Structure 1
Amino acid sequence: MKNITEKSLFDVFTQHQAYLYRASSRSVNELYKFFNSETMDMLDRLSNLMKELNETERFALAGGEYTTQHLKNIQLVISNWFNSINTVLPEIFTHSAIALAIYESNYIAKLFGKVIKDLKGERLYQSIKRVPLAGGALVDESLAQISENALQRIEYAIRDGMNTGMTPQQIIKRITGTKRLKYEDGLLNSTKIDIERIIRTLRSHISNQVYLYNFKNFNFEYVRFVSVLDGRTSKICAAVDGSIWKLNDSAKRVPPLHPNCRSILVPVSKDGRLIGNRSFVMDERKVRDIPKDERTQLMGQIDANISFKEFFNLTDNFFQKEWLGPKRYKLYKE
C-alpha cells in the first residue's frame, strides 16, 4: 500500500468501481442485443404458426399439450429458441468474464506495485465459478435463470392468451410490449431487467473474488467492508459497513451480498483505518437524477472511517424516514 501516494486506497477503489459499472453496461448491452435478436425472430415464426391453429388446438395449447403437427411445430420453435439462448448467453458472458478476471488481476497488481507471472484467466474464472455468491447460487445457475425465466414468461403468456381468446397478435404484443411505452409494458422487459441485474451482480462477484485471490498472494492480512453512503444502500450492507476481518476468516462477508450490490472489500492494516474521505449522497436518487441546484446540500465528503451507521445518525429526519420507512423510523426515534 506504500506505492499509493497521490490518492488514498479508498479513493482509487471507489473510482475504479465507477469504471467497472460502465464496463458492465457494455456487457449487459451485448447480451441483451443477442437475446432480443433471437427472441424477435422466434416470435415472428411463433405468430405465423399460431394463426394456423383451430379451436381444438388452441384449447390443447392452453393446457400445455402439443398433440398435433401444428402444435409440435410451435413446441419445436420455442425449444430451439430456448436451447440457443441457454447455450450462447453463457458463452458470450464467459468470454467477457475471463477478460474481466485478467483485467482485474493486472489492475490490482499494478496498484500495489506487484507483478503477476503466468496469469491464466480461464483457470482463474473456473475457480471463481466454484465459489457461490451470497445466498448459495453459483455463476452457471445464475446465468441459467435468464433463459429459464424468459421461457416461463413466454409459455405462460401463450397459455393464458389461448385460454382468454386473445389473437396471436395480441399475445405477441403482450410479450414484447408496445412502442408507445418504449416496450416497458411487455413481459420481455422483465427479462431485460433480469439480464442487467444478474450480469452486474456476477461481474461484481468476479471482481471481488479476484481481489481476494490477489490480496492473499500479496500477503495482506486484513480487509474492511466498505458500502456506499447514500439512500440506495441496502440494510444488509449498511449493517456490515466498516467491519474488519482477517483475510483468512471464513466468516467474512464478501460482496456482492445481494443483486446490484455496490459494496467492496479494501485491504487494511490491523487497525482497519482508511486514509482520506468518502463521498456521501443524502438522497435515494441517483446523482444524475438530483437537480443541480439541490446537490450542494445533499452531497459531500466525510471521513473515510465513518461507518454507514454513524453517517445515518448525522443525516436529517427526511432522509432517515425515507431510508427506514415509517414504521422503522418510528421505532428508531423511540
Structure 2
Amino acid sequence: MVMLDRLGVLMKELNETERFALAGGEYTTQHLKNIQLVISNWFNSINTVLPEIFTHSAIALAIYESNYMAKLFGKVIKDLEGEQLYQSIKRVPLAGGALIDESLAQIGENALQRIEYAIRDGMNTGMTPQQIIKRITGTKRLKYEDGLLNSTKIDIERIIRTLRSHISNQVYLYNFKNFNFEYVRFVSVLDGRTSKICAAVDGSIWKLNDSAKRVPPLHPNCRSILVPVSKDGRLIGNRSFVMDERKVRDIPKDERTQLMGQIDANISFKEFFNLTDNFFQKEWLGPKRYKLYKEGQFDFDKFFDPKGRLYTLDELRELDERTFKILGL
C-alpha cells in the first residue's frame, strides 16, 4: 500500500525529539506534518470513495428488493425511482439513532484512530518504523489477519452488511404500505447465533403504521426481517432451524441431520428454544442463566425486559433474590 510505504519512509527520517512529539500526537515539524498529511489523505480517500461506491450499490439494492417484493406478491410497481427511494431511506435512522451517512463516516474515523494509535504507541514503546508498519498490515505468516487493516476490513464488512439490511427492510416497509398490507410480523433466524434481543422479539406482530414496531436491523449483522401478515399473524409453511451456534458451513456433514431441519413457521424462537437440547440451551443462555432456566423454573421471557433487552444477572437477582439463594448463584 502506497500510504504505508510513504509512512515507513517518513518515520525513518524522524529524530528522537520528533519521535517523542509524534508519540504525544503533536505534529510540530515539517517531517511530522508530512506524516499527518499522509494519514489525512488516506482518511479522506476512504470518506470519499466508500460513500460513492456504497450509494451505487444501495440504489441497485433498493430497486432489486422492490421488484422482488412485487414479483413475490403479484404486484406491479410503476415508475420506481431507486435514487429517490434510497434518499428517503437515508433519512430513516437505524436502531440506536445513526443515519447511513454517519455509519459510513464511522468507518473512516475508526480506521484513522487505529492507525494514529498504532503509530503513537509504537513511537512510545521504541518500535522501529518497520515494526509499526507490520503491526498495521499484519504478518504474511498469519495471512495478514493479525493486522489493524484487517480489523478495518472487518469493520467495513460489518457496517456495510448492516446498512444493506437496513435498506432492504425499509424497502420492504415501503412496499408493504403500497401493497395495502396492514400487519407485520418480526421473524428472526432459528439458530444459536441469533442475538438475545431478536430472539425475544421474534414472533411479535404490529400494525404496519405502529411507530412502536421493531424494525431490523436491531444490531450489527442482524439477520432478522419483517414479513407481512393478516391480523391473526399466522404464517404459511415451515422455517429452517439450526440447533447449533456454528455457521452451517462449519458443521461437519455427518452432524447436520441431527442439528438442522424444518419447523412450523409460526414457532417463535422462545418455543424453538424450549424444544432444543440441554447443550444448545446452556451455550445460548450461559451457565448461570441456564441453571435459572432449568432448575429455577425461569420462563424464557423472564430473562428479558419489556423491550427485549437481556437482563444482567444482577438485575435478575434483584427481581428474584430467593431463587438465586436457593440455587447458590
Please say whether Structure 1 and Structure 2 have the same fold, judged by a TM-score greater than 0.5: yes
* Equivalent of 1:231 in 170, 177, 192: 192
2:146 and 2:12 map into 1 onto residues whose CA distance is 24
1:195 and 1:176 map into 2 onto residues whose CA distance is 16
Gaps of 5+ in 1: 1-39
Residue 168 of structure 1 deviates from its aligned partner by 0.5
SS at match of 1:223: strand
Equivalence for 1:160: 121
The alignment of Structure 1 onto Structure 2 pairs a total of residues equal to: 295
1:79 and 1:280 map into 2 onto residues whose CA distance is 47
Residue 275 of structure 1 deviates from its aligned partner by 0.7
SS at match of 1:309: helix
**After superposition, what is the alpha-carbon deviation per residue over 1:4-37, rounded to whole angstroms, capped at 9, x for unaligned?**
xxxxxxxxxxxxxxxxxxxxxxxxxxxxxxxxxx
236-245 vs 107-116, which deviates more? Answer: 107-116
108-117 vs 230-239, which deviates more? Answer: 108-117
**After superposition, what is the alpha-carbon deviation per residue over 1:33-54, rounded to whole angstroms, capped at 9, x for unaligned?**
xxxxxxx221111111111111
**After superposition, what is the alpha-carbon deviation per residue over 1:197-234, rounded to whole angstroms, capped at 9, x for unaligned?**
10000000000000000000110000111111110011
Residue 87 of structure 1 deviates from its aligned partner by 1.2
SS at match of 2:119: helix
1:110 and 1:300 map into 2 onto residues whose CA distance is 27
**After superposition, what is the alpha-carbon deviation per residue over 1:89-143, rounded to whole angstroms, capped at 9, x for unaligned?**
1111011001101111111111111111111111111110110101111101111
SS at match of 1:67: coil
SS at match of 2:223: coil
Equivalence for 1:206: 167
Residue 183 of structure 1 deviates from its aligned partner by 0.9
- Percent identical residues: 97
Residue 239 of structure 1 deviates from its aligned partner by 0.5
Residue 316 of structure 1 deviates from its aligned partner by 0.7
SS at match of 1:48: helix
Higher RCO, Cα 8 Å, sep 6+: 1
Equivalence for 1:136: 97
SS at match of 2:193: coil
1:1-334 to 2 correspondence within 5 Å? 40-334=1-295
Residue 84 of structure 1 deviates from its aligned partner by 0.9
SS at match of 2:274: helix
Residue 56 of structure 1 deviates from its aligned partner by 1.0
2:270 and 2:124 map into 1 onto residues whose CA distance is 53
Residue 68 of structure 1 deviates from its aligned partner by 1.1
SS at match of 1:175: helix
**After superposition, what is the alpha-carbon deviation per residue over 1:44-71, rounded to whole angstroms, capped at 9, x for unaligned?**
1111111111111111111111111111
Gaps of 5+ in 2: 296-329
1:114 and 1:41 map into 2 onto residues whose CA distance is 51
Residue 237 of structure 1 deviates from its aligned partner by 0.5
- RMSD over equivalenced CA pairs, Å: 0.7
Residue 81 of structure 1 deviates from its aligned partner by 1.0
Residue 298 of structure 1 deviates from its aligned partner by 0.6
TM-score normalised by L of structure 2: 0.89
SS at match of 1:158: helix
**After superposition, what is the alpha-carbon deviation per residue over 1:294-330, rounded to whole angstroms, capped at 9, x for unaligned?**
1111111111101000010011101100000001101
